A and B are shown apart, each in its own frame.
Chain A
Amino acid sequence: MSATDFPRAEGRRFWEGWRHTIGGHRGLLIAIAIFAVMFAVYGWKQPVGLTSNIINTAANKGVLLALVAMAQTVPVLTGGLDLSVGMVFVFTNCLAASVVVGGGVQTAAGIVAVLAAGSTCGLINGLIVVYGRLQPIIATLATGAIYFGIALILRPDPGGSVDPDFADFMTRSTWGIPSSIILVIAVVVLIWIPYRRSVLGRAAYAIGSSEQAAYMSGVPIARAKVLAYVLSGVLAAIGGILLTCITYSGEARAALGGDYTLNSIAAVVIGGTSLFGGAGSAIGSIFGAFVMRTVGDLLFVFDMDPLWQPLFVGVVLLLAVSTGSLRLLRIRNKLDLYR
């Protein structure tokens, strides 16, 4: 090999690195692309253009689901599922409508209390799944009902209040950007990225990818799983606080929790996270959530009956999921199809 070959070989290796980086985020990139196309069409067709009011409303709606979808992502990455995210979201909404009041220090203390409540819900889920050895789907179905029950006791009728300064700040624009978008970016930067780059975050991916291999490698499986559910509870609680700011009240409505749970799973899948675990990211789920929410807006600007919305959401979901099954074309032993 002559000396001049080196830069070329280095260059090839550099591009190979990029190819792998892009390949590893295929699902995320597809979700971003789908969202970009949908939002461009929406902005173009929108009769009054994209005013800050319209953007704010769209952002708030999208971010609510985005936070719950992020909460769903973490257990899904470990190969689990959290059917209680929607109920934690509702429960923390009810709690926040009682404690995030009074202004200043008191409001801050209320926020901390709500986050602590959310993480406790997650901790209970995690402990049951890891040490009770129950399947996540049934464990969280049960705990979700319990969390909703507590929400009902807290707030039998819709009502309550929230610190109005805090609520206004959260639902308006800051520096020309909707505050809720800033919130979601902050969550990504302060919670998701550090988690993704921690040993236990890495462990969550390893467990979802192959729990056996993770165990053989000496990965701390129990701790990583419990943390995944705790994180899920915290993220759902952040969503619950934002909901309180938007509605100025708390409401224990079962349909709301159920809706958010199911939509969060759909958003996770559209965002490129595998329901088998091991691959994907919470950032993809954010875009997945925005795709889900934009479908409704698109129907509106095209003057279509809102009754069509569920159908279209279903079609988008199917299309997004189908890209994942392309890998089946590579299988060489038919028995692997059923594993």
Chain B
Amino acid sequence: MDSIGTPLLRMQGINKHYGGVRALEDVRFECRESTVHAVLGENGAGKSTLIKVLSGVVQPDAGTIELGGERVTFPSPAAANRAGIACIFQELSLAPDLTVADNISITNPPKKLGLIDHRAQRRIAEEVLARVGGEDIHPLTLVADLPLSRRQMVEIAKALARNPRILILDEATSALTAADVGKVFAMLKQLRTEGMSIVYISHRMGEIKELADECSVYRNGRYVASFAAGTKSDDAIVEMMIGREYSNVFPPRSAKVVEGPPALSVRNLSWEGQLNSISLDVRPGEIVGLGGLDGQGQRQLLLGLFGTLIGATGAIEINGVPVKVSSPERAKSPNIAMALIPEDRKNEGLMLPMSVRDNLSFAALGRFTRFGVVDRKAEAKAIDEMISLLQIRSDGVDGPVASLSGGNQQKVVIGKWLMNRPRIILLNDPTRGIDVGTKQELYQLLRRLAADGAAILFYSTDYDELIGCCDRVLVMYNGAVIRTLAGAELTEHNLIASALNLPASPTPGPGLAMAHAGAAS
């Protein structure tokens, strides 16, 4: 066979824009039969978009896909499936109210007399579950009743049941237990010898080293390089993943060392296996970043602090006083004075059809209310102050907030919480999808708030931002804080290396190996 010469899959010149944002530009990707091909890149490098193009979920603006030497297009996931491409997505593609067996053969169930043959379907499910190492999962269980790690095994089994030529795993192992990962790896190696082409996306370098035959690196929506696995050092790979196309103007850090008791002190916060014994301190005037790869528990940490997680354990102290934050209402009360700027501003942050003014005063109405009646004059004054402080550009602040640009909407979300005069501000990736100008205003605002004594905990998927904006960065991995970076050691290289849970690089400075952030500073 000439499979060495011609790749099974060849994608060339792929372009994809979302509005004005470039997700992919002139990207290529090739993979062969009987190989595991690793796709590498940091957050926002375009890996997920590339996979979505390949699996028919999004349509590229330009570019070609060749499968087995023939031009193909995938207008829908169903079309990609028919061509022999099966994808195991990060966001699960299982219908929760159906049984495991129903889900596994959802589009092509076995039939008898034209009807779905439940017995055969159950047998298929049992076989394919056994193949991936999920024998413990009963095929008649509802997917909704399974824990996340079991669902992920079903997801893998479902993709496998389609007998694909190309199997894509997009962070498919992140929710699995170590024992499951072992079983899945054994299965993938077996499939490779049977001729399957496997595209493997993972942030875990250990896994990539164990599995991959070839690697391709992407950065900022562009293709960087492909090479055979084992020919580059970890350091060289990390360098390839780093790339700087623009740099933001960041305000200077405050020179003074922050003293005194922490405004927010967390000890051993744990929840549902997604947060594992997290301890941290944030002092007034300090901006502490949360780094690490997407989905390592950063969101849950912020939600846990804000009181929306049921069954979270651990201790929280505000200014040295132990408190129990049981709900967002409690979290914003004056003696805690916490604010959470949510990531999903359209659902969790704003009431889109309501006016800018109404949105701004909503979280702080208590401040202007006397005997249950809102003091409209005081409210209007506070709103005007906030609008000018944040420079919210809006022709009519009485118009619906939905008509504003993304950046201005985000300002309204932040302004809404600042109305409450919070002393602890939690931000969940607040600059995602907003323009560079607004980003800079936001950085300066954060610095100003810190200078006025606020304690800020800032999760961002943008490493530049963490480096430029934060006094310290806690890097999270698997629901735990694995490293604290500060001062000279706060570099992009170190951020990525620790996000991938690689051993600390010796080069930039000492002290990198600090084990737990809670103990730091």
A217 & B77 in contact (Cβ 8 Å cutoff)? yes
Main secondary structure of the interface of A (DSSP, over half): helix
Residues of A62-109 contacting chain B, CB below 8 A: none
Tell me, yes or no, whether A8 is within 8 Å of chain B by CB: no
Tell me, yes or no, whether A156 is within 8 Å of chain B by CB: no
- Complex: A334 Cα to B480 Cα, angstroms: 22
B134 CB to nearest chain A CB (Å): 14
B99 & A20 in contact (Cβ 8 Å cutoff)? yes
B77 & A202 in contact (Cβ 8 Å cutoff)? no
Residues of B112-158 contacting chain A, CB below 8 A: 114-116, 118, 138, 140-142, 145, 158
Q: A206-B98, A217-B77, A278-B97 are in contact. Are A16 and B303 (CB under 8 A)?
A: no
B97 & A205 in contact (Cβ 8 Å cutoff)? yes
- Complex: A202 Cα to B307 Cα, angstroms: 39
Tell me, yes or no, whether A178 is within 8 Å of chain B by CB: no
A202 contacts which chain B residues (CB < 8 A)? 98, 102, 106, 109, 116
* Interface residue count on the B side (C-beta < 8 Å): 44
Which residue from A218, A279, A334 sits with its C-beta under 8 Å from B77? A218
A216 & B303 in contact (Cβ 8 Å cutoff)? no
Tell me, yes or no, whether A45 is within 8 Å of chain B by CB: no
A220 & B96 in contact (Cβ 8 Å cutoff)? no
Tell me, yes or no, whether B20 is within 8 Å of chain A by CB: no
Classify chain A's interface size: 35 or more
A332 & B96 in contact (Cβ 8 Å cutoff)? no
B142 & A334 in contact (Cβ 8 Å cutoff)? no
A214 contacts which chain B residues (CB < 8 A)? 95, 106
A332 & B92 in contact (Cβ 8 Å cutoff)? no
- Complex: A182 Cα to B245 Cα, angstroms: 73
Residues of A262-319 contacting chain B, CB below 8 A: 274, 278-279
1/0 contact trace for B88-109 toward A, CB 8 Å?
A: 0101111111110011001111
Tell me, yes or no, whether B178 is within 8 Å of chain A by CB: no
- Complex: A146 Cα to B429 Cα, angstroms: 50
- Complex: A194 Cα to B106 Cα, angstroms: 16
A217 & B309 in contact (Cβ 8 Å cutoff)? no
Residues of A19-58 contacting chain B, CB below 8 A: 20-21, 23-24
B309 & A332 in contact (Cβ 8 Å cutoff)? yes
Which residue from B89, B116, B118, B140 sits with its C-beta under 8 Å from A20? B140
Residues of chain B touching chain A, judged by Cβ–Cβ distance below 8 Å, are 57, 76-82, 89, 91-99, 102-103, 106-109, 114-116, 118, 138, 140-142, 145, 158, 271-272, 303, 307-311, 327, 348
Residues of chain A touching chain B, judged by Cβ–Cβ distance below 8 Å, are 13, 16-17, 20-21, 23-24, 193-194, 197-199, 202-203, 205-206, 208-210, 212-220, 274, 278-279, 331-335
30 A-B pairs in the complex with CB atoms less than 8 angstroms apart:
A16-B138, A20-B142, A24-B140, A198-B115, A199-B109, A202-B98, A202-B102, A202-B109, A202-B116, A205-B97, A206-B95, A206-B103, A210-B96, A212-B91, A213-B92, A213-B95, A214-B106, A216-B77, A217-B77, A218-B76, A218-B79, A218-B81, A219-B78, A279-B97, A332-B271, A332-B272, A332-B310, A333-B310, A335-B308, A335-B348
